[in-house]
Structure 1
Amino acid sequence: MSKSIDYGNMMHRAMRGLIAEVLEDVGANGLPGEHHFFITFDTRHPDVEMADWLFDRYPSEMTIVVQHWFDNLIVGSDGFQITLNFGDTPEPLAIPFDAIRTFVDPSVEFGLRFENQDGEEDDAEVVDLPDLDLAEALDLDKVEDPKPETASDDPAPAKDADVVSLDAFRKT
């Protein structure tokens, strides 16, 4: 029997479970209203699956945007799979929940951040977004090749996924 309750790991599992529940609902029903997600993950995690050219471009961390065009969103017990467009090329990704560093839904000013100190378990926290200038925090000047928006059920060709840096969320 342990000598204390491990609240940190319990919170970690609960918050990743919340992400799983949200993604399951989006996979089944689509994104409601103006909701969209910025998900930053550790590309070095051993269970991340992505194209070699994407890993070469993002060797440590990558942020994906789940908004206008995505396909094959499948949520499992340990992570999720999704196909996104990069330069008009659909690419499948497999992202374990343990690889996620931030999950942000700017439409409702909600965010989660998972910090990892070397050798320690992740510490999870809710990010208080109303105090942040979201454009500055997401460093939207670094968005790569933004494309015009299209509705998800529009038969027009799929567009690029926007990739942004969320370094402003990192503790120093």
Structure 2
Amino acid sequence: MAGKLLDYNQLVETALRGAVREALSRVAEFGLPGNHHFYITFRTDQAGVEIPPYLHERYPEEMTIVLQHQYWGLEPGPDAFEVTLSFNKVPERLVIPYAAITAFADPSVQFGLQFRVAPNAENRPPAPVADVGDEAQAPPAAAPAEEGERKTGDVVALDAFRKKKS
């Protein structure tokens, strides 16, 4: 390390990713208290990210998930967390490394973090090839919530609300 500067920004990001891991660990053990819920945005092209091919096709670079009422099997590990979410009433297991997270927010307490994650084309899995006109290969559209059903676990695109870098 002699001759190299300390990258304090990287040290802070590492510590804050630890805070995300700890928050997920507490939720895995005790559940989400009160109105707490999480928006987690992550790079889908990073090493270690595991999502179904149709979701990767729909979100080849970045995706946001919501942990609120309908999630199962939240398992935070030392380097990644796993969770099952429902997409069009189909349960899907996701594996998300903390290093792939670009944003973490808990709107119930107006808390949010943003992280630097460079796009990683080398780690991007090949996009699935769909037959032209084969609707079964297309990613499913969000199903409308039924009367009285709370709709959660959907992917929410927040790009329109982000400030563009000049």
TM-score by length of 1: 0.74
Q: Please name the residue that 2:2 is paired with.
A: 2
Q: Please name the residue that 2:126 is paired with.
A: none
Specify the SS of the correspondent of 2:115.
Answer: strand
1:73–1:81 Cα contact (<8 Å) kept:
yes
Query: Quick one: percent identity of the two aligned structures?
Result: 46
1:79–1:97 Cα contact (<8 Å) kept:
yes
Check 1:24–1:170 CA distance in 2 against 1; reply closer, same or farther (3 A cut).
farther
Q: Please name the residue that 1:54 is paired with.
A: 55
The one-letter code matched in structure 2 to 1:164 is V
Shift of 1:165: 1.5
1:145–1:162 Cα contact (<8 Å) kept:
no
TM-score by length of 2: 0.77
Q: Please name the residue that 1:84 is paired with.
A: 85
Q: Residue 164 in 1 paired to residue 156 in 2?
A: yes
Structure 2 gap ranges (5+): 121-141
The one-letter code matched in structure 2 to 1:165 is A
| More displaced stretch, 32-41 vs 160-169 | 160-169
The one-letter code matched in structure 2 to 1:37 is F
Check 1:117–1:76 CA distance in 2 against 1; reply closer, same or farther (3 A cut).
closer
Shift of 1:162: 2.1
Greater RCO (CA < 8 Å, at least 6 residues apart) = 2
Rg (Cα) greater in structure? 2
1:70–1:85 Cα contact (<8 Å) kept:
yes
Q: Residue 103 in 1 paired to residue 104 in 2?
A: yes
CA distance in 1, matches of 2:82, 2:42: 13
1:74–1:82 Cα contact (<8 Å) kept:
yes
2:68–2:152 Cα contact (<8 Å) kept:
no
Alignment: residue pair count: 141
Moved over 4 A (4+): none
| More displaced stretch, 20-29 vs 44-53 | 44-53
1:18-68: CA deviations, max 9, x gaps? Answer: 000000000011100000011010001121001111111111111000001
Structure 1 gap ranges (5+): 120-143, 151-158
